[in-house]
Amino acid sequence: MENEGRFYLDTSIWLDFLEDRGNNGDAAYKLLKFIINRNYKIIFSEAIKDELLEYGLSMDNIRSFLSVFKRNVICLYVNKKQFRKAKDISNKRNIPVFDALHAIIARDNSAVMITRDRHFDKLLDIVRYKKPEEIII
Whole-structure pTM over 0.95, yes or no? no
> What is the full per-residue pLDDT of the chain (137 aa) written as tens digits?
445 699 999 999 999 999 999 999 999 999 999 999 999 999 999 999 999 999 999 999 999 999 988 899 999 999 999 999 999 999 999 999 999 999 999 999 999 999 999 999 999 999 999 999 999 87
3-state secondary structure (DSSP) of residue 9: strand
Alpha-carbon 31 to chain mean position: 12
Q: Using an 8 Å Cβ cutoff, are 69 and 42 in contact? A: yes
Domain boundaries, the chain: 6-135
> Helix, strand, coil: what percent of the chain each, to 5?
60, 15, 30
3-state secondary structure (DSSP) of residue 74: strand
- What CATH code would you report for 6-135? 3.40.50.1010
